[in-house]
Chain A
Amino acid sequence: MAEHFVKVYTRFNRVWHWSQVVSIMLLFFTGARMLGFHQLGPFGLAVTVHTLVALALLLLWAFATFWLFTTGGWRQFIPRLAGMVKVARFYAFGVFKGEEHPYHKTFERRHNPLQALAYFALKMALFPAIWISGLLYLSYNLWGANDAQAFWLGLVANIHVLAAFAIAAFVVAHVYLLTIGHGFREHVRPMLTGYDRVDLTPEAEAYLGQKGLLKD
């Protein structure tokens, strides 16, 4: 096994990521406007932008899901226990003593076990919670005719807002964790260029080299 600069993020992968960044930020901003956290811009514009961006993001997610399943990329996100304790111990203690991160990225496994678990939770719980509640919220008039006391609308709205805060918390942790290890810039660069330093088996090295996906 040797470390190489490998193209780990394809163009679609990067577009997917940064589109999510932009749209989720817009959704936070407009959602906060509707919640009354700030008064920047009219409420109606916030509703419009929130609706359109959410629909666009859903479309992107549909494409991304298709892409993950056809490329096998979904395997990256399946959580596993191996190494979990080591990583957890690192974040809880080792990081303060200046220890090296115990996890080494491989081509098949970009994420450390804790990271994978976090993404899994995001994709399997928080994202579905936000878009299912969001679509129910948006389509209330199609199903809410008998919701005389607006109980179900209130429930849907509260779940939506709760999920939004949880995603916001994820974003905070996500950005913070970029500062750990090799530093913020080092962590962001691969998502811009597509290339990252990962451990490769000789077989993988040969294969990827042949495909022109190695930089060194």
Chain B
Amino acid sequence: MKHAFFRTAVLVSAVVLGVGGALAQQSPTTNETEVGAQSRPAPGALAARMSDPVKELTADHTKFEILKGPFASGPEVTAACLSCHTEASNQVMHSVHWKWEYENPATGQVLGKAKELNAFCGNVASNETRCTSCHTGYDWVDVRQPMPDDPTKVDCLVCHDTSGQYAKQDNLAGNPPLVPVKEGAKTITGAKASPVDLVKAALSVGEPSRQNCGNCHFYGGGGDNVKHGDLSSALFDPPKAVDVHMSKDGANFACEACHVSDKHVLAGSRYNTDVVDPHADERKPGEARDVASCTSCHSDEPHEGPNPVLALKLNDHTDRVACQTCHIPEFARGGVATKTWWDWSTAGKLKDGKPYGEENFTQSDGKHLHTYLSTKGDFDWAENVVPYYAWSNGVMSYTLPETEIDPTQIVEINSIGGEPGAKDARIFPFKRMGGKQAYDTERNVLLYNHVYGPGDGTALWSYFDWEKSLKFAMDYVGLEYSGKFDFVETYMYWPITHMVAPKDDALKCDSCHSENGRMANVAGIYVPGGGIGIGGKLGLVVFLMVVLGVAGHGVLRLFGRKGGHHG
């Protein structure tokens, strides 16, 4: 009896629940305006109708319930994204943007931010929470280890936010500033950090714009245009004179117009640059030009009239000279200077026991820039910089952490590959960064530094003690260190390829075709006008001898005439 009652009760409640469930599922179809956050709308319920305006994309993210939050953190937003875009994080996790590691197929060297040393802040390892603030993920606090295999750690918003208010704080390992924001906190662009509205950002997602890419890439090296020289905040909204491709008055390109993406991997690399489009002859009409090189769109015979002779002659240059060489006459244009010299050896000086700074460089917009900081040493800056030119096949070889260096010479942090005149090489413009960096005087290797780590007693930026900083960093990465250090002068080369000027501003012929022109130090070329050469010198001697002979002959005739009657 008791058993039977229990059974009946279960049955009845099951029926009631079932009907209730059915009713709950029906309600959205009967009344679309009352869609609850918990219930799932029927298929097609959100779909635009024929009476609605036609939109560019097939999904309107502002309609998705799951994007309406609330979100307590970046990874929660990513989880929402992944509920539809199930493969997106995995694609990102196979990109250089995520791994910060790049195995150069041409040299076999393992590069990338997580591995290499550079001529700016030096290294990421042991400084993570500061450096990984620009990582396209969240919470990478130890670059000795790869990021955990957790798809929600990918930061979708940093690339796809179009609300403009999503930002990464500069010392939270990639996380955005959220309530409560610490006093004095800054974003990675150096702006005052204010709490990010994650819902607003999530609802705004779209194609990446110059804003998204620029927030990291324009500020590499710790400030506006510090690192690249041809990537600065001037490119958020550049006049045509600064960049014909990115200007609103020009092509108004977003970065991916050239850096075409495939499975979240973007074309273009400063380790292995496509100086020459490797697939120029293989493409059929309509095929994607997914190579970030000028010739991918412009071909290698881009010059046309009005003067066909000159156009032909200019096209004759393209097998030796990269487009960028003439068409980016100077970099760091548009009013934002770039750092050209960074001397770490002077870092650590204190005034009255306190760190200080000097601002002796005035940018064209009147802004004063640091020329000394106790934390970082001495700097030089420059605007409208004439590039350094070199033959390049795009392959950069790096002085890796354990590469032996010759401290009596200037150490090239990276050296430019490519033989003069080789078919895969062109004369290419570079920013040549100079500076002084720490090295082990016993082992003759470059040293890692530990600069960021408030409260840990060793970080250079807090305690101004090189011995402790270097020791900590070398222990951190597990490399041998003699304990003896000094500073060696270094060069680092950065390919210049952005800030393409209007064609009227391209280099004029005699920028190179003149004595001491821009190609004066480039090997393996003959530049007409670069000097008169042996033929010219010999010819000049012959010519002058004849002139002198004629003059002498004439003078003698004049004397002769006085005596004689005929001339």
> Is residue A7 contacting chain B, with contact meaning CB distance below 8 A?
no
Interface string of A161-188 (1 = CB under 8 A from B): 1111110111011001001100100000
A44-B508, A141-B316, A149-B420 known; A36 and B310 CB under 8 Å?
A: no
Distance between Cα atoms of A166 and B534 in the complex (Å): 14
Q: In the assembled complex, which residues on chain B have CB atoms less than 8 Å from the CB atom of A168?
A: 539, 543
Known A-B contacts A34-B513, A44-B310, A99-B566; A157 and B528 likewise in contact (beta carbons under 8 Å): yes
Smallest CB–CB gap between B392 and chain A, Å?
A: 15
B540 contact from A47, A145, A165, Cβ within 8 A = A165
Chain B residue nearest to A165 in the complex (CB):
B539
Q: How far apart are A119's CB and chain B's nearest CB, in angstroms? A: 16
Q: Is A100 an interface residue (CB 8 A)?
A: yes
Question: Which among A47, A95, A159 is the interface contact of B557 at CB below 8 angstroms?
Answer: A95
Q: A43-B508, A173-B550 are in contact. Are A161 and B513 (CB under 8 A)?
A: no
The yes or no answer to A35 lying at the interface (CB within 8 A) is: yes
B526 touches A157 (CB 8 A): yes
Give the residue of A39, A95, A98, A176 whose beta carbon is less than 8 angstroms from that of B563. A98
Q: Is A65 an interface position by the 8 A CB rule?
A: no
**Assuming A98-B564, A148-B419, is B550 touching A47 (CB within 8 A)?**
no
For B541, the closest partner residue in chain A by CB is A165
Q: Any chain A CB within 8 A of the CB of B559?
A: yes
* B contact residues, range: 35 or more
Residues of B within 8 A of A176 (CB): 550, 553-554
Neighbouring A residues of B509 by C-beta, 8 Å: 42-44, 47
Main secondary structure of the interface of B (DSSP, over half): helix
- Given A35-B529, A43-B513, A145-B319: A96 in contact with B556 (beta carbons within 8 A): yes
User: Is A12 part of the binding interface, using a Cβ–Cβ cutoff of 8 Å?
Assistant: no
- In angstroms, Cα B318 to Cα A145, docked, is 12
Q: Does A150 contact B (CB under 8 A)?
A: yes
A166 and B319 contact, CB distance less than 8 A: no
Residues of chain A lying within 8 A (CB to CB) of residue B532: 35-36, 161
Residue of B420, B536, B550 touching A165 (CB-CB under 8 A): B536
Q: Which residue of A lies closest to B531 (CB)?
A: A36
Query: In the complex, which residues 518-554 of chain B have their Cβ closer than 8 Å to any Cβ of chain A?
Result: 524-526, 528-529, 531-536, 538-540, 542-543, 545-547, 549-550, 553-554
Asked if B535 contacts A162 (CB within 8 A), the reply is: yes
| CB nearest neighbor in B for A33 | B529
Q: Which of A44, A170, A173: most chain B Cβ within 10 A?
A: A44
Contact of A157 among B307, B422, B533 (CB under 8 A): B533
A204 at interface by CB-CB < 8 Å: no
* Residue A160 interfacial (CB < 8 Å): yes
Whether B565 sits at the interface, judged by CB under 8 Å, is yes
Q: Which of B307, B525, B547 contacts A150 (CB 8 A)?
A: B525
B526 touches A169 (CB 8 A): no
Q: Give 5 CB contacts A-B under 8 Å.
A: A145-B319, A150-B524, A158-B536, A165-B536, A166-B539
Q: A51-B313, A98-B563, A161-B536 are in contact. List 20 more A-B contacts (CB 8 A).
A: A35-B528, A39-B510, A43-B514, A44-B307, A51-B309, A96-B564, A97-B563, A98-B560, A98-B565, A100-B566, A145-B319, A150-B524, A153-B526, A157-B526, A162-B538, A165-B538, A169-B545, A169-B547, A180-B557, A180-B567
A-B residue pairs, 4 tightest by C-beta = A98-B564, A165-B539, A158-B535, A148-B421
